[in-house]
Structure 1
Amino acid sequence: MFVDRVELKLSSGKGGQGCSSFRREKFVAKGGPDGGDGGRGGDVWFVVDKNTDTLSHFKGKTHLKAKNGRPGMPRKCAGKTGESLYVKVPPGTQVIDKETGELLLDLTEDGQKVKFLEGGKGGLGNVHFKSATNQRPTYAQPGKPGEEREVRLELKLIADVGLVGFPNVGKSTLISTVSNAHPEVANYEFTTLTPKLGVVAIDEYRSFVMADIPGIIEGASDGRGLGIEFLRHIERTKTLLYMIDAANYRDVTEQFSALREEVKRYSRELSTRPFAIAVTRIDALEKEAVNEKIWALLKSLDLAPNEELRKYGVDESVISYGSAEKSNPHFVMPISAVARINVQPLVFALADVLEKRQ
């Protein structure tokens, strides 16, 4: 089960009670106070673990608590420190205050370890309160209470390239073709119900991570469809790849404009990220029809043809265009994931875009 948002109450441990006792041994007529200190309460830590990729292990849990410190003991023996609570989360998890909505932690690095709540201090035993005027103190401190906080954990997947498109435009087919991901692929809309990550190998030494999210429909930024739930998963992506379906009943320019508008309405910052365009399912049309659609898209973007993409080995049977300007797509490339037309050139082109952005 993919879970990307949970609400939890976290509590650190309470400090142990200090001990009030007196030394009682043979031949020690009047042993003084010897009560030990209480143990410190356990802390609450967040630990980033890349072996987890969802928050599903918190499903059904509402309150996580560290252990309390143990009480102090006679003969000046301190109580045992309470066991700390280690909350393991996947990279990309944000810790948000449930009441105020304040971002408390942004956990992105594998192995990152952050103390979130500190355990309560253990109380002092009566041995600390003896003096010349009070040689038989019976008072020992209670342990201090631990800290408590209600939080919301939100997972935002970390990827290099995020796929954005309407339902059933070939996003899942592409990521299953170029990466190690195996999403469900079928000829109906919303086959992808949860985000998928795939590692795309460029060569023996280089790779990048691609993220596929459920298809976006018009009005997604207002809560329609599934897109609003998962648009946040491409917030951390370095580059967006807009998937435009050449065989769709919608015009290619209409598709791109609608997608750009939804992304912009969701996050203006996200809309300024570097992006490229892949015109998909070109195997379903004649070459002339594909060329006509790409020409129309370029005209709407006020772009001129650019043969630079030929260096990636783009299939000669279809034309290719690109742009080096920041406000324009890095490239516009026609592809077919099913027929594997221009799939490898697409990978090389995306890799170059990512290297330029580093």
Structure 2
Amino acid sequence: MDLQLPAQDASKIDTGGCKSQRKWRHLPCIYTTIASPMSSKAEPLPASAPPTRLTITDRDAWKKALATRRPIVVHLNADTTWLVQLPRPASDGRRSTFNLLIDPWLQGPQSDVASWFSTQWHVVAPSVHTLAALEQLLREVDPNSESSATEDGAYIDAVAISHEFTDHCHRATLEELPRSTPVIATDKAANLIRSWKHFDTVVTTPGFPGPDSAVPDLPSWLSIGRVVSPGNALYYHSAIVIVFDSDTAPNSSKREAIVYSPHGIKPADLKSIQKSGVPTLALLHGLHDVRIWMSKQLNLGGRNAAEAVRAAGARYWIATHDEVKKGGGFISLLLRRTVHPPPPKEEGAGYKFVELGSGDGVVLE
């Protein structure tokens, strides 16, 4: 749950009188500052080619990306809804790609507590308007479309939910899915989703690392867990860890992890991932530092992310949860934001930074 403001228009906010110019009258009053560029002190890596990007409107490029047999992440909106496509190991014996949907919110507003408290709308249009449209796209690009769908015809294999807030756990969007779709959700989100009585299987995300990180209804080569900052009673600053076997992993373990932390997580809490022995392929973490005035910090922002990506040993840092959203409500009056620019492009950064627009994707090589 956060309220976004366009970084490029921060100069249009009068931080003394808190009066926006006419163009931005629909936006809540938020004090915004622009931080100086971040520096990178990571251990150097050999120079390499820029990551392979794609857009879902280019079906041929998407098919070529799938043919690499490497994981693909696609930004379905400009905020924090993601499609993660994982290549199935040859031993799986089913279709070539496992499609995991994360924090889906497509159409309509999202509101937490009550509309007077916090309500938001997308300003940047999602790249797909419905999950049925996404299913059709997945069918079109799948190399074995005639035999690839599950028994109920679905191409979305599972859903992961990171938080109970409705910009992550949007009921109208989620209920577009078939009842048979497995949902893996954090504690409060799982209880909320169960109360809807729509899905047959709702599993509470287990802790990571732990003996119970395997999740029912997921293939044996895939597990989803959660890392939580100690003392964080609301589980706000946490991370979802997606661990999968890979025939094309650039390491001897043949296992890789994608870490998703839309609000951010303290770097020290990610050391458990390195200790697990599973190399981190990518960390999804936002640039914007958002806090409630004189109170709780919400999104930890880019400076925290720069340290977190090194703590996790990630090869990619992918920005998330930084959309410019139209919003209102009481909570918007209390928000303070620092917009961190992307880290400078320099050799030896230790990771590749990627920003993706709505409908854009990247191959994690």
Please give the TM-score of this superposition, normalised by the length of structure 1. Answer: 0.29
The structure number with the bigger radius of gyration is: 1
Higher relative contact order (CA 8 A, sep 6+): 2
TM-score (norm 2): 0.29
